[in-house]
Amino acid sequence: MHILSERGVNHVKCPSQDVYSSASAKKRGTIAAQGALLSLLSLFSFATYSAHVTDGPYVFLDQGKENTAYWICQSELKQTPIANNQLARPNDCGNLPQPVRHSEAPQVEADTYTHAGKIIALSDVHGQFDVMINLLKAHKIIDENNHWAFGDGHMVMTGDMFDRGHQVNEVLWFLYELDKEAQAAGGRLHLLMGNHEQMVFRGDLRYINERYKTSTELLDRSYDALYNKDTEIGRWLRSKNTLVKINNLLFMHGGISPEWVERKLNISDANQLFRQHLDDKKEDLKQNDLLNFLFFTNGPTWYRGYFKDVLSEQEIDHILNYFKVDHIIVGHTSQERVLGLYHNKIIAIDSSIKNGKSGELLLIDQDKLTRGLYQGEQEPL
């Protein structure tokens, strides 16, 4: 079952070794006991650091690997066969998820819904699996065993699952399974793409967590290749929309700038363009006027204009009228809580889950807007 396991611990970089070597150089000639103690401490922290990397699973669809799951268990690479679409964790591999693979290739879903009932939204989870699960359980969106409990409701995640945090893969596999469970119950999970999904897909890896360096070394792939279009998770993510309209609400990661309206764009064309160009290089996107708008500063995954006091309420109304909606719901620009701006016409839902300690949801039932707090309390927005 072990492959390449001989590459395991030896390839893990150890920050404490550098500290020790510079420290020992300075202290050369001091008493031997001090040196021995430092050496012991150094070895201890090396062992702790390297033995703790447990990650996965990863499923690659190319090179005949589609029926194998890859796992990092205590800094060793292991693989298990996928039987009946069930991924089975090896022994001694912590609490890693054991998802059931969807058998068919993902379908592109609708991006406009009317007559939806209850809705919840959250954003910018950034690899903070435990915080996300706590919030969803506290508000009964999922049950005690992390399964969909929201019936025919709609759950919207407005992007930035990737980067910063240490449980990105756990977040993705959980949502991958929840997606199917929601549909089976008559509900929907809308997983919208944020700027950090785009960055990872095109190989901008400045924000990845230290944990994943071990995984990329053992799997002998760059981090973006763990989620490229020839991976189970990567293929699924690339089917997703970037904007969704539900009832009188429009959701996206960053926001809609006046430039969108000047360009007379529509949601479906934009979603299609985002899907088509998610893997394009930055310099290629920059050379196309429309793609340069969509993917960067004033586009829907990066825009921050609502938070800079540059738009009047009239300009906000103009944008809302263009889409025939009453509210635009955005993540991306971090707040301490779910926050209404411009008389709740704009609702900011990046509640700083990325800090790993707390967060909030937005609950919408008809015209009632409610903050879902971390411990389960609810307050009107």
d(CA 81, CA 99): 13
Total number of residues that touch Zn ion (CB under 5 A): 4
For residue 165, which amino acid is it? G
CB 198 → Zn ion: shortest distance, Å?
Answer: 9
Restricting to residues 228-287, which ones interact with Zn ion according to CB under 5 A?
none
| Angle of the 168-184 helix axis to the 129-138 helix axis, nearest 10 | 30
Q: Of the candidates 55, 76, 160, 232, which one interacts with Zn ion according to CB under 5 A?
A: 160
Give CB contacts under 8 A, 24+ apart, made by 16-22. 16/41, 16/42, 16/45, 16/46, 16/49, 17/42, 17/46
Q: Of residues 79-118, which lie at the interface with Zn ion (CB under 5 A)? A: none
Cβ closer to Zn ion: 78 or 332?
A: 332
Tokens of 277: 């160009």
In the shown chain, the binding pattern of residues 315 to 354 toward Zn ion, with x for contact by CB under 5 A and - for none, equals: -----------------x----------------------
Q: In this complex, which beta carbon is closest to Zn ion, that of residue 195 or of residue 214?
A: 195
Q: Pick from 80, 195, 216, 247: which binds Zn ion (CB under 5 A)? A: 195
Beta-bridged to residue 34, according to DSSP, are none
For the bound state, the minimum distance from the C-beta of residue 207 to Zn ion, rounded and expressed in Å, comes to 10
Q: Closest separation between CB of residue 296 and Zn ion, Å?
A: 12
Compose the 114-153 pattern: x for residues touching Zn ion by CB under 5 A, - for all others.
----------------------------------------
In the bound state with Zn ion, the residue whose beta carbon lies nearer, of 42 and 158, is 158
Which residue ranges make up the site for Zn ion (CB under 5 A)? 160, 194-195, 332
